[in-house]
Structure formats: C-alpha cells, structure tokens
Amino acid sequence: MVQELQIGGTNRMQPQKIGVIGAGLMGHGIAYLLANAGHTVGIYDPSAEWRASLPARLKSARDLLDGDPALLGRISAHDQMAPAMKDASFVFEAAPEKLPLKQQIFAELEELTVPTTILASNSSAIPSTEIGAKLKHRERVIGTHFWNPPHLVPLVEVIQNEKTSGETVRRTMELLRDAGRKPVHVKKDIPGFVGNRLQHALKREAIALVAAGVCDADTIDEVVKNGFGARMAVLGPMEQSDLVGTDLTLDIQNVLMADLDRGTEPTKFLKDLVADGKLGMRTGEGLRKWTPQSADAVRDRLRRFLAEQAKSTQAKPAQKP
Ligand SMILES: NC(=O)c1ccc[n+]([C@@H]2O[C@H](COP(=O)([O-])OP(=O)(O)OC[C@H]3O[C@@H](n4cnc5c(N)ncnc54)[C@H](O)[C@@H]3O)[C@@H](O)[C@H]2O)c1
C-alpha cells in the first residue's frame, strides 16, 4: 500500500521512483506528467539523438503548461536500462510498436526490477497479454494507453489483461489519478481498447457518407465540431442517451440501424486515397485539401485548446511535510 501525504487538505501520493522506456513522443510526455506530480523519473533510450533533444522538449512542455519549475531536475536520461530502472515502483514502456522488441524489453525489466514493480506498456495495439507472455510474474503486467500528447490529453485507458491482478489495476489507477490524469479501467484486452473503437466507429460512418456523396469531408467536420461535438466534452453519449431518454434512443435506432454503414473491411475510398498519395496534411491533400498554413493553423489551434484544458487538470506537485 502506497503511503499518502496530507497536503492542504488533499491526500497526495508519496513521491515514487518511476522508470520510462523510450524518450520519444509518448515517453517524454509520460515522464513530464509524472515528474510534474513530484515523482523521480529515469528514462532509458538507446538513441543519443532522442536523449539529446529531451531537455528542450520537456522544457517546452513545462513552459506551455506553467508546470513545476523544479520538475526537470527530477528527470534523468540514460543510455542503459539498469540505472534508469533502479528502485522503480512503476515502469512505463513507450518503445517502438514491435512485439519482439517489447517482449525483449519486458524480459530485461523482469531481471532489473522487484516482482512488485508494475510493468505497463503504452502500446496502441499490441495486447499486454502477449508482451508479458514469457514473464514469471504476469500479474504485474498491464496496458496503460495514454493519448497523444500524454501531458495534454487527460484520458489513460488502463487495460487489464487476463493475468493482471486487481491490485496492479488499483495501484496504476491511483498513480495516474494522483498525477492529474483521468484513468479508466478497461476490463478486457481487446483491439483498439475503448477510445479507438469509438473513434473509428465514427470515422467509418463519416467516410461512408462522403464516399456515398451525401456531403463533403469539410461538412462532416462542421457537423461534428458545431453539433454534437460542441457538447461532447461535458456530455458523453451515454449521458446524452439518458438525457433524452432510452425510449427516444430506441426510436432513433429503429429508424437508423439498418441504414448505417456496416463494412467489415477497410474502405475502398480510403485505400484509393492512400494509393493516390493523398495522405493528408503532409501531402497537401487527404480527405480534405491543405496548404502548409492551413495545416499549421489546425495544429496550433489544437495545441492551444489542449494546453488550456491541461493547465487546469495537471497535478500540483506534492511537497515534503
Ligand atoms: N504516437 C502516438 O500517437 C501514440 C499514442 C498512443 C500510444 N502510442 C504507442 O506508444 C509507443 C511509443 O510511440 P511513440 O509515438 O512515442 O514513438 P517514438 O518513435 O516517438 O518514440 C519511440 C522511442 O523509443 C526509442 N527506442 C527505440 N528502440 C528502443 C529500445 N530498444 N529500448 C528503448 N527505447 C527504444 C526511440 O529511440 C524513440 O525515442 C508505441 O508503442 C506506440 O504505439 C503512440
């Protein structure tokens, strides 16, 4: 049981030692938010280039979020795994998305950590069941699916695989909640977890509507952003169904279900775009058309919006009593 500190009327977790594998896009964000919550973080990355750019990327996150000025001093980068993982009570793995590599990393982690250290993978698609398949202590292996960028998007899907213990889920949720995240417990290790399945159900219908000539891609974005998307940050689909009533939701299903797209393969429309080199913002055209300026404007708008939200949710660092 992790000790807690009583600070200003709120219980905060005692600072922990945390290991992070990979200093890339996800790893540096995970390190940032845990260090900002008062923990000491050791990051292992074999790439000198990624390690060299780490301080500037962390500083940029801290400046964007007005984070704890001292947090950079709590993060150290290493070219070897052992010193980065020393005394770690949690390890978050954010290495490239390749099963043999992740299995190798977890095998090394088993040697370097005590059996109570929680080993979490940030994989977007590979089940942690497979990543931890060869370990002796599989009850401490878990999936933690952070969303990009991890220091700006509050959700973390905490995925319990068939071997993960309830205690591992509890401790992981506690750590993430304390760091200002919104962890949710996903009880089955299924492809896409919950968030990506919901996102892709929407994309499947959106692409089908455009492919059928019902409206253009710009209109889809207008409908979502100015319609149900405008309220989604405060009203989830289940709340909304209960707000209007399950009876009305059923009436709508009676009319719509037979008409919704039910494809089971990736859509031809999307395959044709990719085959034609229309890859989106980076090629100037995808589902919509882009100039470098309009693409930058979208990125900037997103970053500012997420930063404003994140400032209010990030952890206030624990202080020593
Ligand atoms: N990018 C996203 O939007 C996103 C979202 C959720 C989850 N993920 C998952 O997070 C993980 C990392 O993705 P990313 O986008 O941060 O990738 P990235 O390419 O930005 O970073 C990967 C890092 O791992 C390092 N690395 C390479 N070999 C390594 C090894 N043997 N041991 C330790 N580190 C090694 C690289 O040097 C690099 O710094 C992947 O599993 C990915 O699927 C990514």
pLDDT reading at 3 higher than 60: no
DSSP 14: P
Nearest to 19 by CA among 91, 117, 113, 112: 91
pTM of the entire predicted model: 0.92
Which tens digits make up the pLDDT trace of 69-113? Answer: 999 999 999 999 999 999 999 999 999 999 999 999 999 999 999
Task: List the CATH number of the domain containing 261.
Answer: 1.10.1040.10
- 244 and 189 housed in the same domain: no
pLDDT reading at 8 higher than 70: no
- 259 and 127 housed in the same domain: no
Q: Please give the residue range of the domain that contains residue 268.
A: 196-290
- 229 and 178 housed in the same domain: no
Average of per-residue pLDDT values in the chain? 93
Last residue of a domain, one of 173, 193, 213: 193
- 80 and 189 housed in the same domain: yes
Write the DSSP assignment of 161-227 as a string of letters: -TT--HHHHHHHHHHHHHTT-EEEEE-S--TTTTHHHHHHHHHHHHHHHHHTTSS-HHHHHHHHHHT
- 248 and 106 housed in the same domain: no
Q: Note whether residue 314 is domain-resident.
A: no
> Letter for the amino acid at 280?
G
As a whole number, mean pLDDT of residues 135-163 equals 96
pLDDT of residue 6: 45
pLDDT of residue 11: 72
pLDDT reading at 57 higher than 90: yes
Is the C-beta atom of 199 inside 6 A of ligand 1?
no
Task: List the CATH number of the domain containing 115.
Answer: 3.40.50.720
- Percentage above 90 pLDDT, the chain: 90
CA 26 to ligand 1 center in whole angstroms = 6
Which tens digits make up the pLDDT trace of 152-203? Answer: 999 999 999 999 999 999 999 999 999 999 999 999 999 999 999 999 999 9
- 222 and 172 housed in the same domain: no
- 209 and 254 housed in the same domain: yes
Which tens digits make up the pLDDT trace of 34-47? Answer: 999 999 999 999 99
Decide: 99 and 127 in contact? Cβ < 8 Å. Answer: no
Is the C-beta atom of 50 inside 6 A of ligand 1?
yes
- Cβ neighbours around 207 below 10 Å, total: 22
Q: Note whether residue 309 is domain-resident.
A: no
Is the C-beta atom of 101 inside 6 A of ligand 1?
yes
Is the C-beta atom of 21 inside 6 A of ligand 1?
yes
Write the DSSP assignment of 110-164 as a string of letters: HHHS-TTSEEEE--SSS-HHHHTTT-S-GGGEEEEEEPSSTTT--EEEEE--TT-
- 188 and 200 housed in the same domain: no
DSSP 70: T
Last residue of a domain, one of 175, 193, 211: 193
Is the C-beta atom of 66 inside 6 A of ligand 1?
no
Atom of ligand 1 nearest to the CA of 101: 31
Q: Note whether residue 187 is domain-resident.
A: yes
Q: Note whether residue 29 is domain-resident.
A: yes
As a whole number, mean pLDDT of residues 278-297 equals 98
- 110 and 44 housed in the same domain: yes
3-state class (DSSP) for residue 285: strand
pLDDT of residue 172: 98
Is the C-beta atom of 123 inside 6 A of ligand 1?
yes
In whole angstroms, give the CA distance from residue 198 to residue 218.
21
- 185 and 201 housed in the same domain: no
Q: Is 136 exposed, middle or buried (0-12, 13-18, 19+ CB in 10 A)?
A: exposed
Q: Which of 1-5, 29-33, 211-215, 237-241 has the lowest mean pLDDT?
A: 1-5
pLDDT of residue 1: 40
Which tens digits make up the pLDDT trace of 260-278? Answer: 999 999 999 999 999 999 9
Q: Note whether residue 86 is domain-resident.
A: yes
**Domains of the chain: total:** 2
Asked if the bond preceding 191 is cis, omega within 30° of 0, the reply is no
As a whole number, mean pLDDT of residues 134-162 equals 96
Nearest to 43 by CA among 72, 78, 11: 78
3-state secondary structure 207-220: HHHHHCCCCCHHHH
- 230 and 130 housed in the same domain: no
Decide: 160 and 194 in contact? Cβ < 8 Å. Answer: no
- 223 and 97 housed in the same domain: no
> Letter for the amino acid at 109?
L
pLDDT reading at 7 higher than 60: no
CA 222 to ligand 1 center in whole angstroms = 33
Last residue of a domain, one of 193, 212, 230: 193
Q: Note whether residue 296 is domain-resident.
A: no
Q: Note whether residue 240 is domain-resident.
A: yes
Q: Note whether residue 222 is domain-resident.
A: yes
Decide: 185 and 142 in contact? Cβ < 8 Å. Answer: no
